[in-house]
Amino acid sequence: MSDKPTVLFVCVHNAGRSQMAAGWLRHLAGDTVEVRSAGSAPANQVNPAAVAAMREVGIDITDQTPKKLEWETAESSDVIVTMGCGDACPVFPGKRYEDWQLDDPAGQGVEAVRPIRDDIRGRVEKLVAELAAGRPAR
């Protein structure tokens, strides 16, 4: 069992928002946090505009693939951040939940994805600071 907090980012397709959030968390927290992402209805590939937007800030998410949200993954995560997955996201007592209201980058060009990417970065920076202060669960 690891002492590292585990953070799961969940959106519908696991192709844009959750992949960018996971990329930011890996970049900002390094190996101090276990990072996961999943989707309730995963896409076939990560959104190319999200990949391009993250590349602009030096973060490569090309090796990521959308994954199906599994009950066990959510159950074993300390923090679950949802981004529009609605009722498909399981709820477990004792977990820390955050619901980030973000525009969906699906079908958008990189110009529209940049502000979403930057919004996610600010939220992830806040989460990293909270985790560093020892607040992985509520």
Single-letter residue type at 111: E
DSSP string, 9-64: EEESSSSSHHHHHHHHHHHHHGGGSEEEEEESS--SS--HHHHHHHHHTT---TT-
Q: Of the listed 10, 11, 54, 128, which one is catalytic?
A: 11
Q: Which residues are paired to 96 by β-bridges?
A: 79
Q: Of the listed 89, 116, 127, 128, which one is catalytic?
A: 89
Q: CA-to-CA distance for 134 and 70, rounded, in angstroms? A: 26
Active site residue 89: yes
Q: CA-to-CA distance for 40 and 62, rounded, in angstroms? A: 21
Active site residue 124: no
Active site residue 32: no
Q: Of the listed 33, 85, 120, 127, which one is catalytic?
A: 85
Residues with catalytic annotation? 11, 85, 89
